[in-house]
Chains A and B, each alone.
Chain A
Amino acid sequence: MTTTIYVPRDSAALAVGADRVARQIEAEARARNADVRIVRNGSRGLFWLETLVEVTTPQGRVAYGPVTRADVAGLFDAGFLSGGAHALNLGLTEEIPYLKKQERLTFARMGVTDPVSVADYEAHEGFAGLRRALALAPAEIVQQVLDSGLRGRGGAAFPAGIKWKTVLAAQAPQKYIVCNADEGDSGTFSDRMTMEGDPLMLVEGMAIAGIATGATEGYIYVRSEYPHAIATLDEAIRHAEQAGFLGDDILGSGRGFRLIVRKAAGAYVCGEETALLESLEGRRGIVRAKPPLPALQGLFGQPTVINNVITLASVPLILARGTDFYRNYGMGRSRGTLPFQLAGNIRHGGLVEKAFGLSLRELLYDFGGGSASGRPIKAVQVGGPLGAYVPESQWDLPLDYEAYAAVGAVVGHGGIVVHDDTADMSQLARYAMEFCALESCGKCTPCRIGSTRGVEVIDKITSNQNRPQQVILLRDLCDTMLHGSLCAMGGMTPYPVLSAINHYPEDFGVEAPDRAAA
């Protein structure tokens, strides 16, 4: 009998040698005359356990990890093809507490299926949402997205249904769906995991968005740092076309939708939606002033829905299971789940999908197991490089867009970067300014010049040249950037800077905490 073995093809598994492990398993099986079939699945997102190898047994899938090439012979000796005991045996995958405690809605198939197999996808609820959408009028689909409470997962948390409604109402010869897969934020990888581990979910979400708004073409703008994601998406799109889920006549419905993958070129600001459109049009990715809104004049001047990967990937389930099912997760105006991403100095880094409302402390300790270094955790940056550093006094706040906004922080894309007590917050603040200077599109002065001045001022503070005046100057500069920038690049760089100086003044040589701003 053939034994099915799963070895992830996710970048984070490849980066620790998953290909070698797969090759070794193949070689070892041949040498022992064992009948095995290797499936390259996505990652379960338990990255400290990669390469996580799973074996199908009558009891269910049994996990072994972290497996290196050198472990493979020993695993065969221990009878791992039938779930045998071994130091790396983690028991049934689904029973691993880190996974079991999650609420996986969007990531339910992640690591379970073969990412590019349409049959596997359909066997796990795939395309159920698209089939339902095809039976509805466009306005009904949009209403479901509105009712679900789904807000954009790319950072700004704008209600997805409102954008869709605007595009549906617009009259134009051509409309577009654009997927923002630029994922430039440090500490975020859920878009990458989706494109590598369950790309058909994104394909399905975009097709639904097209049918809902009357757009017949979609573009996925993927960062060049993600070559594996691009290759996997291309493969998945080809398979979806062959199976009739994309093309001129989706499942014989008479409605068409085509998908095109475009590779970005390493500019962080191209994650900003209007800069992204400029880039897709073949120009420098410089931010456009709004209005006009992209929903009315977006790609090539046509009405365009632009959404993040996870926003679009959340839609198939909403259509398949209904709006109430989705709404019933979460709290306040933050409905559904968010794939939180635990990164940096954390023992159990990985992906944790939970409903909004859990606390950072739960994520850091119940899931993350504390710092990787074993030292106390000092600061946690939530929401990417433009997000605030959250001090321990705020770790019990619920993760909810409004609760975070109330303390001058952001949930953003759900990225969580942990720093232990060796971190120097003045240097992290300096880095935030330096990053802004490097990545600014240059269109407006507060961001373009302010960020360079910010680096200089922080250097003066840390080297104690006129420290008290320079601190005033820094706050002033942050205020100008906050209020005078055209987009959130310059407008949010003050978040990490001010939170660092406000919550960790000692790192700047500032004694009395001065809580004047955010």
Chain B
Amino acid sequence: MKNLGIATSIAAAHKDMPGGLLPALHGIQDALGHVPPDAVPVIAEQFNLSRAEVHGVVSYYHHFRSAPAGRLLVQVCRAEACKAMGADALLAHAEQRLGCGVHGTSADGRYSLEPVFCLGLCASSPAIAVNDEVHARITPALFDDIVEEARQDS
């Protein structure tokens, strides 16, 4: 209920902005960690759109999520420059270390693992991001250190 109130007020604040739907969805995801499916009708109402249209937008973009992520969102770059420096092996290591597959969340709700297609760190590959903090030249050992440190901070 509290979440719905937040979603409604963010949607209302953006409804008159030209092309305001994406900024509204960003605002909601930034505030709540995801775009709750039951917020879709209230967003649709504010923007005078059908629910299907809003759902269509939320599901089209990789960035928006319908369920909360784990406390640490770990993104591993899978694009070419990172592949050239061992990103595939790094991803396999990440799955093992975090205890979840790509697009998954670990059973304890601590980690979510997502692929990302380029972080713009291609000259320092392979690269990852943990809750939006970027890290480059990642080895499996460094990966473990970064995740451990982020876990303690969070």
A-B contact pairs, 10 of them (CB 8 A): A16-B124, A189-B120, A264-B22, A266-B62, A341-B122, A341-B123, A385-B79, A418-B84, A419-B84, A428-B80
Q: Which residue of B lies closest to A285 (CB)?
A: B60
**B119 x A263 contact (CB < 8 A):** no
A189 and B123 contacting across the interface, CB-CB below 8 Å: yes
The answer to whether B110 has its CB under 8 Å from any CB of chain A is: no
Of the residues B25, B26, B47, B116, contact of A225 by C-beta under 8 Å: B116
A228 partner residues in chain B, CB cutoff 8 A: 134
B123 near A343: Cβ-Cβ < 8 Å: yes
Q: Mark A396-432, 1 if CB is under 8 A from B, else 0.
A: 0000000000000000000101111001000010010
A265 within 8 A of B: yes
Q: Which residues of A contact B (CB under 8 A)?
A: 11-12, 14-16, 47-48, 50, 183-189, 192, 224-228, 262-268, 279-285, 300, 341-346, 349-351, 372, 381, 385, 415, 417-420, 423, 428, 431, 435, 439
**Residues on the A chain within 8 Å of B124, using CB:** 12, 15-16, 47-48, 50, 349
**Pairwise interchain contact A183-B123, C-beta atoms closer than 8 A:** no
Residue of B nearest to A368 (CB): B123
Query: Quick check: B60 and A344 within 8 Å, CB to CB?
Result: no
- In the bound complex, what is the Cα–Cα distance between A198 and B140 (angstroms)? 34
CA A419 to CA B116, docked complex, whole Å: 20
B8 part of interface (Cβ distance < 8 Å): no
Interface, chain B (partner A; CB < 8 A)? 18-23, 25-26, 47, 53, 56-57, 60-64, 79-85, 116-125, 127, 129, 132-137
A282 contacts B20, C-beta separation under 8 Å:
yes
Q: Are B62 and A385 in contact (CB under 8 A)?
A: no
Least Cβ distance of B37 to chain A in Å? 17
Closest 6 CB pairs of A and B: A349-B123, A282-B21, A343-B122, A265-B61, A186-B79, A344-B84
Other A-B pairs beyond A15-B121, A224-B63, A228-B134, 13, CB < 8 Å: A16-B135, A16-B136, A187-B122, A188-B120, A225-B129, A266-B61, A282-B19, A284-B57, A284-B61, A417-B80, A423-B84, A428-B83, A431-B80
Task: Give every chain B residue within 8 A of A47 (Cβ-Cβ).
Answer: 123-124
CB of B1 to closest CB in A, whole Å: 26
Interface centre among B26, B84, B119, B124 (most CB of A within 10 A): B84
Q: Are A192 and B19 in contact (CB under 8 A)?
A: no
Residues on the B chain within 8 Å of A428, using CB: 80, 83
Contact residues in B for A15 (Cβ distance below 8 Å): 121, 124, 127, 134-137
Residue contact B18 to A300, C-beta cutoff 8 Å: yes
A267 pairs with B62, CB closer than 8 A: yes
Q: Which residues of A contact B119 (CB under 8 A)?
A: 11, 225
Q: Which residues of B contact A341 (CB under 8 A)?
A: 122-123
Point out the residues of chain A lying under 8 angstroms from B82, CB to CB: 186
B-side contacts of A281, CB under 8 Å: 18-19
> In the bound complex, what is the Cα–Cα distance between A189 and B81 (angstroms)?
12
Contact B123 A265 (CB under 8 A): no
List residues of chain A with CB within 8 A of the CB of B81: 186-187, 343-344, 417
Docked Cα-Cα span, A264 to B60, in Å, equals 12
Closest to A263 in B: B26
Q: B79 to chain A: which residues have CB within 8 Å?
A: 186, 385
Residues of A within 8 A of B127 (CB): 15
Asked whether A417 lies within 8 Å of B136 as measured between CB atoms, the reply is: no
